[in-house]
């Protein structure tokens, strides 16, 4: 069984309680919790860490958590070494934004065997003993690809972002995009690029492909989308439908740029706060009904067309001042805060 919830109620998920009388084996609060992050080179990861710190210092987590954040150097080996050092500290829980779905599993099992609660989030792992908390990327990718197919009338040439090499979510998006387009024989994937979830590499990758392909009818980015827009403009090419992540600046650009057509998928950085809350709940003797907890956030789009969206999912209109905000940092991911804690845009942006 997998759990799902709306992005405006991210904290609401079914739980089952450990029977009364069960002895808790972990140290008393505050619980020492480590967050292991494998990559910090974009706004999402930085916001994720800021939100985790802010949430840990506010009710209902205030006084319950002593949070430590460790950033590895972007490789599986570096994160394994970091995790081994963390395990030696014997924390109550470890939260992991993973460099590999499988490569960390032996190390994670070592943590579980030591009685440490492990919660993987965002880029999750496959270790049986770990909790997995992430957005429902299958649904998001399905909806983005179906929106593109609808916008193109089932025919056209597209460029596809392979994301960040080796990461589980990137591979998942590529697979789901490709599977959807198999249903549309008139749609051809003519080029791949790696955005690395950053606008610069995205722009460079799209620019190189535009030089090689005189016809491009849509671009699927796993990152900002604004790099793809800039590449089109610099090449004096017409804007085409673009899917990307729900960054505030991307949404503003989609609304304010003449001819832009966008569909943005939401993977909120506040998953880090949700992971802390889940770890505390488990340490307190309350755990989710399943080790996988999924969030299904509605997309944001310029064009509310009739699309074959996945069941129980939807899209909302991109509107200035309502769903995107010109006065907030362009790098902010939406939504900013979970429903159970009040995190301001200033706190999330670090300004």
* pLDDT tens track for 240-261: 999 999 999 999 999 999 999 9
Two structure tokens written together for 212: 């090689």
Whether residue 16 has pLDDT greater than 50: no
Distance, CA of 207 to chain centre = 25
Does the residue 96 lie in any domain? yes
Does the residue 46 lie in any domain? yes
Whether residue 97 has pLDDT greater than 70: yes
* pLDDT tens track for 48-60: 999 999 999 999 9
Percentage of the chain modeled with pLDDT above 70:
92
According to the model, what pLDDT value does residue 26 have? 54
The DSSP symbol for 99 reads S
CATH number at residue 25: 3.40.50.2300
What are the residues facing 148 on neighbouring strands?
A: none
Does the residue 106 lie in any domain? yes
Q: pTM score > 0.95 for this model?
A: no
Whether the CB-CB separation of 277 and 93 falls below 8 Å is answered with no
State the total domains in the chain.
1
Does the residue 125 lie in any domain? yes
Cα(4)–Cα(277) distance, integer angstroms: 16
Query: 115-129, 159-173, 200-214: lowest mean pLDDT where?
Result: 159-173
According to the model, what pLDDT value does residue 28 have? 76
Does the residue 52 lie in any domain? yes
Query: pLDDT class for 13, splitting at 50, 70, 90?
Result: very low
Whether the CB-CB separation of 133 and 121 falls below 8 Å is answered with yes
- Containing structural domain, residue 48: 7-135+268-296
Write down the mean pLDDT value for the chain.
Answer: 89
Specify the higher pLDDT residue, 42 or 160. Answer: 160
According to the model, what pLDDT value does residue 22 have? 31
Whether the CB-CB separation of 118 and 131 falls below 8 Å is answered with yes
Whether residue 88 has pLDDT greater than 60: yes
Torsion sign across C-alpha atoms 72, 75, 79, 80: negative
According to the model, what pLDDT value does residue 346 have? 81
Cα(106)–Cα(28) distance, integer angstroms: 28
Tell me the CA distances in angstroms from 37 to 41, 126, 178, 324, one per residue in order.
Answer: 11, 17, 29, 28
Cα(315)–Cα(89) distance, integer angstroms: 44
Query: pLDDT class for 14, splitting at 50, 70, 90?
Result: very low
Two structure tokens written together for 9: 């109620």
Query: 107-116, 172-181, 314-323: lowest mean pLDDT where?
Result: 314-323
Helix residue spans in the chain (DSSP H): 43-56, 76-88, 105-113, 137-151, 168-181, 199-212, 226-234, 248-256, 271-283, 345-349
Does the residue 28 lie in any domain? yes
According to the model, what pLDDT value does residue 63 have? 95
According to the model, what pLDDT value does residue 81 have? 97
Does the residue 19 lie in any domain? yes
Does the residue 126 lie in any domain? yes
According to the model, what pLDDT value does residue 261 have? 98
* pLDDT tens track for 214-226: 999 999 999 999 9
Reduce the DSSP state of residue 103 to 3 states and report it: coil
């Amino acid at each position: 069984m997998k759990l799902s919830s709306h992005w405006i109620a991210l904290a609401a998920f079914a739980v089952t309680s450990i029977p009364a009388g069960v002895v808790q084996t972990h140290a008393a609060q505050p619980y020492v919790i480590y967050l292991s992050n494998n990559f910090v080179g974009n706004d999402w990861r930085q916001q994720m860490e800021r939100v985790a710190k802010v949430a840990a210092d506010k009710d209902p987590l205030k006084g319950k958590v002593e949070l430590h954040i460790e950033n590895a150097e972007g490789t599986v080996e570096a994160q394994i070494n970091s995790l081994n050092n963390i395990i030696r500290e014997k924390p109550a829980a470890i939260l992991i934004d993973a460099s590999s779905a499988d490569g960390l599993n032996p190390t994670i099992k070592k943590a579980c065997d030591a009685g440490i609660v492990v919660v993987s989030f965002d880029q999750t792992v496959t270790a049986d003993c770990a909790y997995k908390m992430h957005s429902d990327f299958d649904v998001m990718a399905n909806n983005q690809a179906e929106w593109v197919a609808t916008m193109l009338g089932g025919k056209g040439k597209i460029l596809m972002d392979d994301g960040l090499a080796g990461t589980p979510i990137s591979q998942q998006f590529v697979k789901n995009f490709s599977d959807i387009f198999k249903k549309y024989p008139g749609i051809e994937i003519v080029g791949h690029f790696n955005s690395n979830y950053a606008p610069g590499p995205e722009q460079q990758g799209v620019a190189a492909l535009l030089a090689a392909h005189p016809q491009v009818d849509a671009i699927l980015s796993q990152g900002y989308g604004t790099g793809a827009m800039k590449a089109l403009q610099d090449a004096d090419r017409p804007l085409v439908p673009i899917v990307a992540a729900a960054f505030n600046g991307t949404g503003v650009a989609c609304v304010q740029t003449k001819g832009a057509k966008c569909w943005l998928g939401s993977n909120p950085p506040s998953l880090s706060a949700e992971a802390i809350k889940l770890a505390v709940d488990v340490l307190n003797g309350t755990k989710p009904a399943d080790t996988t907890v999924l969030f299904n956030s509605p997309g944001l789009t310029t064009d509310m067309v009739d699309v074959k969206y996945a069941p129980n999912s939807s899209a909302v209109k991109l509107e200035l001042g309502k769903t995107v905000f010109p006065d907030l940092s362009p790098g902010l991911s939406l939504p900013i805060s979970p429903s159970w804690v009040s995190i301001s845009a200033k706190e999330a942006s670090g300004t």
